[in-house]
Amino acid sequence: MYQENDSDAAILWSDVLALLEQRGLPAATLAMLKSCRATALDDESLHIATNLGFAQRRIAQQAPIIEECLEEAAFQHLSVVVELSKDVDAKPVDTGSSITAAELGVMDSSISGAHTPAPLEAAPEQREAPASPESRRRANPLFEEVPEGGSKLTFDRFVAGEENMLALDAAKQVANGENKSYNPLFIYGKSGLGKTHLLRAIQNYITLNDPSRLCIYRTAGDFVDEYVNAMRDEKAAVPRRALSRHYQDVDVLIIDDIQNMSTALGSIRFFFETFNYLTTHGKQVVLAADRAPSQLGMGDSLFDERDTSRMDSGVTVSIQVPDYELKLNLINAFYERMKADAEAEHIVGLDGTINEELRKLMAERAGTNIRIIEGFVQSCLMLAHQREHAGSTLSREDILRIAAQKWPTGQRIITIEQIQKAVESYYDISHSALIGSKRNKELMEPRHVGIWLSRELTDNTLADIGKRFGGRSHATVKHSIAWVEDLKKQNRVFHDRLDVLHDNITDSAQ
């Protein structure tokens, strides 16, 4: 029998997490479990702790499958006890590797040209600290005030639902500095779901509530531009050292859309040098992308496995596409806020009325991109204002017409070849592997997905689709479609992957 032992508890919990990952749990659920710390182990139970109330409730719902894996790992029946703690110890972040000085000298030819910069000198451990937060900001040229409009991107204005609650809670933990183990925090999801809102909310919270922490927000494009500019001069080592020194002085570094850095090798190396310095010195890193870290190294990306594993070494959470209930909540929130902001800021044209039934219709017809939903609400509100000033009211037909403009349903010409190329690029497999006869796990999902998308986006018969996928039978094609339909109902992460692929294909269609 086990005796109470923190080390044994941690080892057992690590084994349980490995078994749960093999069971194919959704990424968001695994992220919640990995954020927990095993605190005690006795003859009857394993105790784990989290400081997220939302996570505690969700993990408790997964108790049956956790205890199955717990019994498999411990060779005896044990129950899992999920405790809420405000004092979960920070877990050390093991980046798994380091970048050598030689590696830092390897620069992408598109960035450094023929000139190879000198290896970066390590920033001195001891620096004279500025006397105040204000002087520290003035001393660091990277610091910028939050742009106009960005100050409204706060936690209070973020519309929460089950699809984004874990990401919201994690962002709050990072903003208030309570949980040092959330490092890096990696938030991913398709475009327009609120990732940038959360990143800006972290920045705004720190600026207002903890100005002693120097917080920098950058898009990946901004970061690459700064690096390229530092490398342009013939004496590039000096400005590069200065840029590194400024980044290493940051307390919280936020990089948005990091997938856009994937083809800039020099910037990638510079970023991970900065990443290593900040995380090993107790500084916080927050990243966001349109896909999970493990998917950032696919295709022509220059992120290698070492890079993606470092990005995934802290807490990784997804924001999923909104369902009808969240879309209705979003529409109601945007509607009320736009009217309130218009009144407070004396903005003309947004004082119309949209009744509850019409807002429900808007939710039914809205797509999943939250930015477009916000624009949809504004368009409807402006038309409502015009209608009322003309002596009428906003109608169902008005809503349907604006929705059709925002989310056109016109059929685009999409071919099976386009779908296959998109699937091959997304899953990083060859065409011969996609349509071939091998049945290993790595190929079955992309093959099923390609067949399902071909059925969804083209007018080809099942027999035609089967021919284009290696001569598969009508029954085999039906099985693939059923497999995808079943899994997307059970697994929201897989559902999101389908949405990303679907949108990539339809957006690129001519």
Query: For residues 399 and 383, what is the distance between their CA atoms, to the nearest angstrom?
Result: 9
Helix (H) or strand (E) holding 68: helix 63-74
pLDDT along the chain (510 residues), means of 10: 58 85 72 82 87 73 85 84 64 36 35 36 46 67 67 86 87 86 90 90 90 90 89 67 88 94 90 93 93 83 89 88 86 91 85 92 87 91 92 92 80 78 90 87 90 83 86 86 84 80 73
The CATH number of whichever domain residue 223 belongs to comes to: 3.40.50.300
71 and 43 fall within a common domain: yes
Cβ-contact 311, 301 below 8 angstroms: no
Residue that the structure tokens 């697994």 belong to: 491
DSSP code at position 247: H
Query: For residues 64 and 117, what is the distance between their CA atoms, to the nearest angstrom?
Result: 56
Query: For residues 51 and 278, what is the distance between their CA atoms, to the nearest angstrom?
Result: 24
Residue 121: count of CB within 10 angstroms of its CB: 12
pLDDT value of position 510: 45
pLDDT value of position 50: 81
Query: For residues 503 and 510, what is the distance between their CA atoms, to the nearest angstrom?
Result: 13
pLDDT value of position 1: 36
What tokens were used for 307?
């890079």
The values of phi and psi at residue 257, to 5°, are: 55, 50
- Strand-pair category, 79-84 with 284-289: unpaired
Cβ-contact 249, 286 below 8 angstroms: no
255 and 308 fall within a common domain: yes
Cβ-contact 451, 416 below 8 angstroms: no
Domain boundary among 267, 302, 318: 318
Q: Does 92 map to a domain?
A: no
Strands (E) across 124-237 are located at 185-188, 215-219
Query: For residues 473 and 475, what is the distance between their CA atoms, to the nearest angstrom?
Result: 5
342 and 314 fall within a common domain: no
186 and 269 fall within a common domain: yes
> In this structure, which amino acid lies at residue 291?
R
389 and 451 fall within a common domain: no
Report the greatest alpha carbon distance in the chain: 80
Cβ-contact 160, 168 below 8 angstroms: yes
189 and 258 fall within a common domain: yes
Distances (CA, A) of 33 to 55, 57, 74: 8, 12, 18
Cβ-contact 54, 164 below 8 angstroms: no
Cβ-contact 382, 349 below 8 angstroms: yes
Cβ-contact 192, 231 below 8 angstroms: no
Q: Does 214 map to a domain?
A: yes
426 and 286 fall within a common domain: no
Residue that the structure tokens 């960005």 belong to: 150
Q: Does 94 map to a domain?
A: no
Q: Count of domains in the chain? A: 4
C-alpha 52, offset from chain centre: 19
Domain extent, residue 64, equals 6-84
C-alpha R_g of the chain: 25
398 and 441 fall within a common domain: no
